Amino acid sequence: MSAFHIPTMAELTAAGQTPDVLFWVGCAGSFDDRAKRITKAIARILHASNTSFAVLGQEESCTGDPAKRAGNEFLYQMQAAQNIATLNGYGIKRIITGCPHCFNALKNEYPELGGTYEVLHHTQFIRELIETGKLRMSGDTPFKGRRITFHDPCYLGRANGEYLAPREVIQKLDAELLEMRRCKQNAMCCGAGGAQMFKEAEPGEREVNHARTDEALETQPEVIATGCPFCNTMMTDGVKNAEQESNVVVKDIAELIAEAADLLEAPTA
């Protein structure tokens, strides 16, 4: 039983409607149980802020990012061609996504192949919602004064130069934002990118995500905030490995906002 209905592009088009934005969910957000919680948080935020949106549902397919970065340009371009045909078929103009890898592919790599859209990472869109008053924080957010550190996703930060949006959104929580020793353009990778998520790590002394989690834990946070479902998996695993799961939670910024915002009081569609 769902609290509200999330329309697909196919449904809206059949009804002669066009949403303002497409929510590009991504594979992790669609299938991975942990990442689905992030997806649902984003959907709740979109719904509560009265954003006119839809998803592609079964018509969405992998952007091809992991294939491209693993060297399979054919597979990537086949995926891109298919997705661009779908997106252009619906006349999509504006896309928001919770996955920095999808964000990077859609924003930077699809235009040359015929798919040009305005693409926003969910933290950028949430910032816009807050700035335009469409989303309000509770007077007393559950994160007031809490220690939160933010792990920059490579494909949002270094890859696309967006360091501010996630931090500005976290600051709306009235929390204490702690910076890791290495952050922003110097942030260390969680270890999942470049298709590493889908393979065993090469032989070495330790796992990248364990090393990065140590850097996060140095700030003595209560929450490690992420903006990427893969980073989320890696940091969650790192916290478990450090046996800190009773002290530290790993949450996407969308989840923090969904918990803190006046979602129920917002006007409903």
CB atoms under 10 Å from CB of 59, counted, come to 15
Residues in contact with another protein, shown as a per-residue x/- string from 78 to 97 under the rule CB under 8 A: xxxx---x------------
Stretch that binds another protein, among 14-22, 66-74, 123-131, 167-175 (CB under 8 A): 66-74
CA dist 244 and 236 (Å) reads 10
Is 140 one of the binding residues for another protein (CB under 8 A)? no
CA distance 122 to 15: 27
166/193 with CB nearer another protein: 193
Give the Å distances, CA to CA, from 191 to 120, 161, 194, 231, 265.
23, 19, 9, 8, 39
Among 21, 44, 121, 224, binds another protein (CB under 8 A): 44
Which parts of 205-224 interact with another protein (CB under 8 A)? 205-208, 211-212
CA-based angle 195:196:197, to the nearest 5?
85
By CB under 8 A, tell whether 196 contacts another protein: yes
- 185 is a contact residue toward another protein (CB under 8 A): yes
Question: At its nearest, how many Å lie between another protein and the CB of residue 43?
Answer: 5
Residues numbered 3-22 forming contacts with another protein, rule: CB under 8 A: 3-6, 8
Q: Which of residues 141-180 bind another protein (CB under 8 A)?
A: 154-155, 158-161
The stretch near another protein (CB under 8 A) out of 108-116, 132-140, 143-151, 172-180 is 108-116
For the CB of residue 189, give the shortest distance to another protein in the complex, in Å. Answer: 3
Q: Which stretch binds another protein (CB under 8 A): 76-84, 115-123, 125-133, 245-253?
A: 76-84
Q: Give me the residue label for tokens 């869109």.
A: 125
Rounded to whole angstroms, the Cα distance separating 24 from 41 reads: 14
Which of 13, 18, 50, 77 is close enough to bind another protein by CB under 8 A? 77
Nearer to another protein, 71 or 142 (CB): 71
Angle at 221 between CA 247 and CA 214, to 5 degrees: 90
- What phi and psi values does residue 88 have, to the nearest 5 degrees? -70, -35
* Nearest-10 Cα torsion for 217, 218, 221, 223: -30
